[in-house]
Amino acid sequence: MELDLGAVRTFLAVVEDGHFTDAAARVGMSQQAVSKRIAKLESDLGVALLLRSRAGVRPTEDGAAFLPHARALISMADQAAAMLRARRRALRIDVLGRDTASMDLVRAFYEAGDVDVDIVVSRGAGSRGSMLADGSVDAAFGRAMEPLAPGIRRVPACLEPIPVLVGRRHRLARRRRVRMEELSGSTAWMPGNAAHDSEWSDFYRFLSAEFGVRIDSSGPFFGRDHIAERVAGSPDVVTFGNKRQYPTPPDVVEIPIIDPTPVYPWSLMWHEANRHPSLPLLIAYVKDRFRPYSAGTHWLPGPDRAFFPVS
């Protein structure tokens, strides 16, 4: 005997709705067609599954016994279909920004194997949890701020060094590197950085409190070109970032920061219910390439230190 899954699905609809009419509307069939499907299923099984009355429909004793198995059959069928659909689409990855270390990591993953990827750029923590939960993205990179949304899992991904940018007339412009303490008392101009409670603005609040670097977020954000031009034309203005992120003119100098080097803590996040077949490959790739931070060389905000292992 071979069960008709369409008939099993119809049986579940009738049980859940309690009426043939409502079930017919749900499955998009006529009431007569629903009745024929149920009759065929009962004939195949050799038992009556439903009791009909003016009040509606309810399972017989055999129907109640069959009910959990029917649900399991349909669930397995749906999972199998979803798995095959997933195999035919690219792995959707939110990189937060196209000019970040997360983008480099995804590119290396793509070039190392045969997994198709689809790059997504979101607005960060505010939308990430819902996108992972509803399957809009399969994985996301970012700073994993507590508390994580229910079902979200994470692993450390990479630590991105953050340099400082100054104009050529700045007192530090000729330096090959600068110690973090030398920036104490200075002001980093980062318009829009505190416009919303983002993972970036939170990171710089911790940096400001620990090293005495004021973050000036005043003024509208007119784009990175505008910031670069302001830095290039001033002997005093500095900002945090690198030349990859800023299409900087020749008069802007990028200087590495040492003792310690601030590093941005990138995590890879995904939802535990996601079953994309390529997701485990990405997770394994990221785990294998992560390098712990050095407590004497790098700086992380206090809340991030517990999650990122120390070498």
State the amino acid at position 183 in one-letter form: L
Q: Is 217 helix (H, G, I), strand (E, B) or coil?
A: coil
- Which residue, among 99, 92, 171, 72, has the nearest Cα to 132 in the 3D structure? 92
The predicted structure's pLDDT at residue 145: 82
The predicted structure's pLDDT at residue 166: 93
Sequence-separated (6 or more) residues with CB below 8 Å from residue 196: 126
The predicted structure's pLDDT at residue 225: 85
Distance in angstroms (rounded) separating the CA atoms of residues 186 and 183: 6
Cβ pair 135, 151 in contact under 8 A: no
Q: Write down the pTM of the prediction.
A: 0.70
Q: Which residue pairs from 169-175 have beta carbons closer than 8 angstroms and sit at least 24 positions apart in sequence?
A: 169/234, 169/235, 170/234, 170/235, 170/236, 170/237, 170/238, 170/253, 171/235, 172/238, 172/255, 173/253, 173/255, 175/255
The predicted structure's pLDDT at residue 111: 95
Q: Give me the residue label for tokens 């004939």.
A: 43
The predicted structure's pLDDT at residue 87: 57
pLDDT in single tens digits along all 311 residues of the chain: 678 888 888 888 888 888 888 888 878 888 888 888 889 888 888 899 899 888 888 999 998 999 999 899 888 887 777 666 655 689 999 998 888 899 999 999 999 988 999 999 876 666 787 889 888 899 999 998 878 888 999 999 999 999 999 999 999 999 999 999 999 999 999 887 754 557 888 899 999 999 999 999 887 888 888 888 888 888 988 999 887 787 667 889 999 999 999 999 999 999 999 989 999 999 999 999 999 888 889 999 999 998 998 87
The predicted structure's pLDDT at residue 195: 47
The predicted structure's pLDDT at residue 178: 97
The predicted structure's pLDDT at residue 78: 77
The predicted structure's pLDDT at residue 218: 84
Q: What is the DSSP letter of 122?
A: -
E strand or H helix at 17: helix 5-17
